[in-house]
Structure 1
Amino acid sequence: MSDELTNKTQEETENAAENQAQPAEAEVTQAEATENEAVETTEAVEAEVAEPVVAEEKAPEKPVREIKTFTGQKSEKVYTLDELEEASEDYSDDEYSKMVSMYEGTLTSITEKEIVSGRIVSIDEKYVIVDIGFKSEGIVPVNEFKNIEEVKPGDEIEVFLDRVEDREGQLVLSRRKANTLRVWQKIEQVHESQEVVEGHIKRRIKGGMVVDVFGIDAFLPGSQIDVRPVRDFDAYVGRNMEFLVVKLNMSSENVVVSHRALVETDLEDQRQEILASMQAGQILEGIVKNITDFGVFIDLGGVDGLLHITDLSWGRVEHPSEICKLDQRLNVVVLEFDEERKRISLGLKQLQPHPWDEINQKYPEGTKVQGKVVSIADYGAFIELEKGVEGLVHISEMSWTQHIKHPSQLVEKNQVIECVILNINVDERKVSLGVKQLENDPWKEITERYPINSRHKGVVRNLTNFGVFVELEPGIDGLVHISDLSWTDKVNHPSELVNKGEEIEVSILAVDFENRRISLGHKQIMENPWVNFASEYQLGSEVEGVVTRLTDKGAFVRLPNKLEGFLPQREVEEPNEMRNNFKPDTTVTLAIIEFDEQSRNITLSQKESARKEAEKEMKKLQKKKEAGEQPTGALTLGEMSGLAELKKRLDDENQDQK
């Protein structure tokens, strides 16, 4: 009890003694009785405290709050609140109010969700009873203490006041939450002050590591472990390292730490020194930090530079890993330094001689060389002769004899082949190569093997709209134009006469050695029916034929020598009766009024044939008349007159057409 509380209690006791005005002996007796009662009460309280409160079956009883009063200089009385209420009848209202105020003054003012200090009252198997100066004591589960053996009754500890009362009116305390809150407060403090903390790396997770910092799990991203990319995360598990708290979110209990930030701070001075002396053309030593598809990042000692894939080698590089390895030390040259953006472009091939220097001396035209196929396109294959020197074997330079549709038919990537230097263009840095030049050219003696007008057999290799390609021997093809397939047939497509893979006989029409072309003819192996027909039938002569088909404009007639002529409708005597008089397979006699061997056209006429016939009859009659002979036969004078009129009409029509 405080001195103030003791003095007030003593004054009240003395005043009460004076008012009663009892004899001195009675006062002594009364004081002794009071002292004895106080001693008994104290022993009872000590006995009660000595027995620990067991909270297994029921919540601990509410603590008895004590207040001490003195009835004399050497006597002390301890009252509970219940005893004060019972003794209220012996005191005035003013006196009772003062004693209640003194009792309430012993109670601590507390707030929920805060850390408070308390004293351990007792410990049992399940709970630790803690007095925080409230009207009731609280309990804390034993499992919230890491080492329960290290605490004992009477120890001062910090607990978290979760709730003032639960359903049973019990004060709810937590040792674990108090410790956690203190840790979060400490983490918040080091985050604000950017203080370096030590943590223990517990395990690896996706994206980084879990670090124990003050007993709290913090996240260490993989990119924040070191300034260089980490390739073996497992090697860091179990290590103690220093960190900076770079991100803190107490509501979501998220803590992010970084070790890289500490390393970068140490490298900043070195970085500034390197950047201050950086200039183009400077040769530096660096370590391969990271390899990507487009290049290599080089650590120059706190400063990163990019070695682009095109600056790794004078030759073709599919991926930077072909040239560099992680953690490899390299000498590189500074190609460009952007001081404003702090970007450094590096080069490796620039430290080596250019492979195109003295290229003509190394690869004279006609030289046989070996190279590796590095790329294949539709038009040819690229051959690497050495790093930085590539040549193209065009598809036309791959074989004298084979019909190559794609270079992959002869070569494949990474294959080493032999070829010949055909041409070098230094300005454009192009090398033309050939493979077929390694063999004899079968076209050199082509005219000896295939003289003009000689006949040969070949296989139809391909059909096009304009003709037929015939293979005379492997690698030697000739073209039969569509006009040279048949003398008589009007061919719309070569497939009407020949098929692919079929063997046919051809004649050599022409040989173009420079362009490597041979013109062939198929109809030339047979006699030309147009020549025979022209010698046998002249213009105006009559010919007998068979109607093959009718059209709206006339009729087609098959003539001798497998030729075909056309009878226009205008050359028919009775056009309206043409379909009845010129049915298919009908044999007719017609006159030839037009013959064009080049365009293969023969035009026929019924009118001209009738005029010719009438002319013949008139000549016969004229001869008989001149000889004095009388006309005989079926012709009458009227028929003879009509025949003359017919001849005159046909002659007039023929003259009009001309």
Structure 2
Amino acid sequence: MTDNDKPVNDENENNGEENFADLLARSFAATPRLAPGDKVEVRVLKISGDWIFLDTGRKGEGVLERKELLDAEGNLTVREGDTVTAWFLSSHNNEMRFTTKVGGGVAGNAQLEDAWRSGIPVEGRVEKEIKGGFEVKLGTVRAFCPYSQMGLKRVADAAVYVGQHLSFRITEYGEKGRNIVLSHRAVLEELQRQEKERLKAALQVDQTVTGTVTSLRDFGAFVDIGGVEGLIPMAEVGWGRVTDIREALSVGQQVQVVIKQLDWDNGRISLSLRETLADPWEKAVVNYPEGSFHTGRVARLAQFGAFVTLGEGIDGLIHISRLGAGKRINHPREVLKEGEEVEVKVESVDRDNRRISLALAGVARAADEEEATLASFRKSAEESSAQSLGSLGELLKAKLEKGKK
């Protein structure tokens, strides 16, 4: 057996170095043990059922209740791989329990001041409504939350908060915990900020999204598209002219909209409901062919003519020259008024430029009759002329034949 055939000795292979298991064990041993109330940065490894499993960088598995990281609508605010700030609660059988909110247990009461300094949310129960706000219990500790700090918007009935378990931030901590002021609004604003950052990466111009109408204004409708609000201007509500937003939409209604503009710096998101609806101009040539008659409503008067609505999103123009029945007028209001129903004739359709030229039916019919009369007269004149020429030709022919004899 040659030297190359000899079995390799483990000690020679390691050459005095510790194996990986020993190094790992030594690294865990060197990591300081956590005490209840310690704050750490942990990474989300897996989300499963009611629990979120965490990588703490220590020996043992970290777990966190899933419900702690849900927003007001019940949506999870983290994904696998995200890093979160958490507080250590206890360890049992190499399983470490964490929380993202300091509650009312022994560890929680001991850490309220640290939670105030660090900005960590605390869990509390709204006990009752008092002057200026609410009394909130943080375990056995009483605290105060002003009306203005309970939500992003003021609610009509403040009593709806009583009995609820909510997350708060401690905004004031005095007299060794005897004077604590809370804000639930700060927690909501932080969640809103996180959601905004997520949406920045997810939303794009020309993307179609689903949203919920949150409020109606004279200039349009605000829509929540998953954590941020955008505006549907009046011109983007529908293809037709919308004068009252409340006739087209209602608060709480779910809508599909197209994102037209994303201005994160100024907090402006512009949306379009119209672009999710069928374009009526696609069938304009079929529905309003040249020469056809229709009844419409005068939508607007301008110096150069009158706009008439034929259908949803379809307006045609009667030029001022087609309004006076042969007489010169200075303004369309001399003949028509806004809101009036009129019968019109389609004279031409330009689908590409979204233009339809119209004429008042009475004027068009009179012009048609005049044209028909003129055409009939011309035809009769031509026939009469032909007959006259025929008779003259026959006379000349007869005279020539007579001269030959």
TM-score if structure 1 supplies the norm length?
0.31
Higher relative contact order (CA 8 A, sep 6+): 2
TM-score if structure 2 supplies the norm length?
0.48
> Which of structures 1 and 2 has the bigger CA Rg?
1
